[in-house]
Chains A and B, each alone.
Chain A
Amino acid sequence: MGKFILKRLALLPLVLFGVTALLFCVLQFLTPEMRASLYVRDPRQLSALDAVIEKYGLRKPVYVQYGLWLKQVAHGDLGYSETAKMPVADAVKAFFPATFELTLASFFPILLIGVYFGVLSAVHKDRWLDQLTRFVAVTGYSLPSFVLGLLLLMVFYGKWQLFPPGRYGLETDLLVHGDAFRHYTGLLTLDTLLNGDVAAFADVVKHLVLPAATLVYIDLALLLRITRSSMLEELGRDYVRTARAKGLPERTIVRRHALRNALIPIVTLSSLLFIGLLGGVVITETVFDFPGIGRWGVIAAQQLDIAGVLGSTLLAAGLFVLANMASDILYAVVDPRIRVE
């Protein structure tokens, strides 16, 4: 097991090299002047772009530039993100907790609802509950998140003023940026509670509801379908018939026998889902003005803030590799037949 993890971790730098090298190739479409901003750490340096172009060889072939960038990263310098108005490392630190909080708030509902109703749907195949579940799944899969998000905003913010966009209201903003507020975890739901401010906690939760609900409805579909089809497959197997013949109660058959065997695809999908959320959900964060990694990444990409794009994609790609590894390890946990080599 340890050897396997090491082997997969060795893959991580390879993928990160690949992802950044690919980005560098795409960036060759830009003029050297635009690329020069990647190396600018202080906005005041922008006046001396020619010197920057000269220094970093931006008119040289792409591999030379890439090598120079790697050298810079090796010194721990990821560059300055113009859209975030801070160094990339700081920007990641600033935006990641918001995304992490949103991920937690949407992943667990997805997992619980998805597996619970997926199983029920398989057990009651073709009955009304199954039909309803499938309807929810196919509509969720077909609804673009920006349409759903805007509809939710229209009703729950425009009409009822219940759940505003953003990450917190004005008062909470003043509070969390005040001197007295201590940042224990970066997760505002926890931090507000630890600071003993219930009103601010309620405010933060209120801002999480709509983006989380959007993500739950949209991402639920896949998990429902996978759980249902995997359960149907298992329920048709011989060992289930044996268990029924033994006279075991249906509950036990479903929970103890079939579900455990049906878990493998569920585990893979949920780990990919978790990482997909963690890498930043571009559209949902944009619609709700939620200041996370996804929104930063896309604003950086739109405005060609190269350092910002490199930073956010590095994070997402790294997470992707870790997620694949985690799902392989989880495989072995849920299915002892699988040997991790």
Chain B
Amino acid sequence: MSALRDAWRSLRRRPSSLLGLGLIAFFAAVALAAPVLAPTPAGTRDAYLIPQDGYSPDPVLPSRKHLFGTTEQQYDLYYGMVWGTRTAFKVALFVVLTSLLIGVVLGGAAGFYGGWIDEGLMRFTDIVLAFPDLVLAVVIVSVTRPGLFNVMVSVMLVSWPSYARLLRGDVLSIKERDFVAAARALGASDARILFRHIIPNCIYPVLVVASLSMGRIVITAAALSFLGLGAPVGYADWGQLISLSRNWILGASGSPFAYWHTLFIPGAAIFLFVLGWNLLGDGVRDILDPRQQGT
């Protein structure tokens, strides 16, 4: 408990971290309150499908009826933004947690067992790292069929190597400590030594990197949606709403900013969401790694 209080105290000292926390708290509130903020029209089979108001292709500016206006094919932007917040959290949390898990297991095993296991796992890590990550993700999504879940899996598959590499290095130094030898002398199993004794002692740097990579993951997933590989058209997803705005950025003849809202609103949401994670990540780094303070 006191650790939490300490964390809160040092977070409070930095206005930028507080801003980050505020942004994430705001988006979390929107995500939780989505059914209240943007009630799903009766008879819709999936709440994430954005309601359409007619079939005219041209976007319509914000009005009382559509708070943020509509985008291509009359999808309601307000509804898309609110439910898109849920999608954004879902993608970010899923990818970070699963890629952390893979990274910790593979990196931990490589550092702990050494020898050919280490050699094999680390060369494999090098190979995945050598890929241009967006291209690999695009290949994976394309061969497995576009869709939101496949986007999450493919981003996970390209995100774990940096965690694995970082953790392996720390495991290498921790496993030589006396308390590991003591645990072994007491007859603890390999898995117990690794997961109860070694990893808890070297997980912090990995957690710091994970909290800092949250924003990057959101951007990568949105980029895949932007390329048209994500959820089907009309699904509440910020990256896709931005790709829908692509045809309208030049405006109408005579008024170049006629459809500014189609790009600006989802763009601002994604920017603030990522900014929130980045500012918060900086704060977390300062708490968990005091040596880096103020840099």
Contact = CB atoms under 8 A, between A and B. Distances in A.
Determine if chain A interacts with chain B: yes
Interface of A: 14-15, 18-19, 22-23, 26-27, 29-30, 125, 138-139, 141-147, 150-151, 153-154, 157-159, 228-229, 232-233, 279-280, 282-283, 286, 294, 297-298, 301-304, 309, 312-313, 316-317, 320-321
Contact of B127 (A19, A144, A157, A298): A19
Given A301-B135, A302-B227, A15 B126 contact: yes
A203 B151 CA distance: 38
A139 B228 contact: no
Interface string B138-171: 1110111000000000000000000000000000
Max chain A CB contacts within 10 Å: which of B132, B142, B271? B132
Interface in B115-149: 123-124, 126-132, 134-136, 138-140, 142-144
Given A282-B223, A313-B132, 7 more contacts: A19-B131, A138-B282, A141-B278, A142-B271, A147-B263, A150-B245, A158-B256
A297 B228 CA distance: 15
Given A15-B126, A19-B130, A297-B135, A157 B250 contact: yes
B279 interface: yes
Given A144-B223, A228-B295, A316 B267 contact: no
B250 A158 contact: yes
Interface in B207-249: 215, 219, 222-223, 226-229, 242-243, 245-246, 249
A154 to B, nearest CB: 4
Contacts of A229: 292, 295
Contacts of A18: 123-124, 126-127, 130
Given A29-B143, A147-B263, A158-B256, A298 B135 contact: yes
A39 B15 CA distance: 59
23 contacts: A15-B127, A15-B130, A18-B127, A19-B130, A22-B127, A22-B128, A26-B143, A138-B16, A139-B275, A142-B215, A142-B278, A144-B223, A144-B270, A146-B243, A150-B246, A153-B249, A154-B263, A228-B295, A232-B294, A233-B295, A283-B134, A283-B227, A303-B142
B274 interface: yes
Interface of B: 16, 123-124, 126-132, 134-136, 138-140, 142-144, 215, 219, 222-223, 226-229, 242-243, 245-246, 249-251, 256-257, 260, 263-264, 267, 270-271, 274-275, 278-279, 282, 292, 294-295
Contact of A142 (B126, B140, B275): B275
Given A22-B127, A141-B215, A302-B229, A297 B263 contact: no
Contacts of A27: 143
A316 B135 contact: yes
A135 to B, nearest CB: 9
Contacts of A298: 134-135, 138, 227
B267 A147 contact: yes
In order of increasing CB-CB distance, the 6 nearest A-B pairs are A18-B127, A229-B295, A301-B138, A147-B267, A142-B275, A29-B143
A313 B228 CA distance: 21
B226 A282 contact: no
Max chain A CB contacts within 10 Å: which of B139, B222, B295? B139
A99 B149 CA distance: 32
B132 A282 contact: yes
B256 A143 contact: no
Contact of A151 (B143, B226, B263, B295): B263
B263 A150 contact: yes
A204 B101 CA distance: 47
Contacts of A26: 139-140, 143
B139 to A, nearest CB: 5
